Amino acid sequence: RKEVEQDPGPFNVPEGATVAFNCTYSNSASQSFFWYRQDCRKEPKLLMSVYSSGNEDGRFTAQLNRASQYISLLIRDSKLSDSATYLCVVNTNAGKSTFGDGTTLTVKP
């Protein structure tokens, strides 16, 4: 079993749709959590950090459930420009970072 598992996707949604991605992690020593976005084999870029209390940035909402070892990302009102691969990342305090395999989102007109 992988340390970080994401929804396999791909997700194909129409513009304006709401889409949710899930990610589970197995290392209980995990301390920090992030969602990254990666476009077409370019470098990943931070989308948002994930906090225990949940956090929102415009159309994006991230949530963390430490008890269930589960992270989610919700995208509301999808835009064409949201088409990308979304990576869940889990870090330990010791510096180890583990990426999920990514979920590909395609937003269609």
Q: Which residues bind other proteins (CB under 8 A)?
A: 32, 34, 36, 41-46, 49, 87, 89, 91, 94-102
Edge to edge, the sheet with strand 4-6 lists: 4-6, 19-25, 70-75, 60-65, 55-57
Residue 78 or 88 having the CB closest to other proteins? 88
Residue 6 or 78 having the CB closest to other proteins? 6
Residue 59 is classified by DSSP as: T
Residue 109 CB, nearest approach to other proteins (Å): 28
How far is C-alpha 99 from the geometric centre of its chain's CA atoms?
10
Q: Give the C-alpha separation, 55 to 51, whole Å.
A: 6
Residue 67 or 94 having the CB closest to other proteins? 94
How many CB atoms lie under 10 A from the CB of residue 90? 25
Sign of CA dihedral 92, 25, 21, 1: positive
Residue 48 CB, nearest approach to other proteins (Å): 10
Residue 43 CB, nearest approach to other proteins (Å): 4
Residue 16 CB, nearest approach to other proteins (Å): 29
Residue 1 or 41 having the CB closest to other proteins? 41
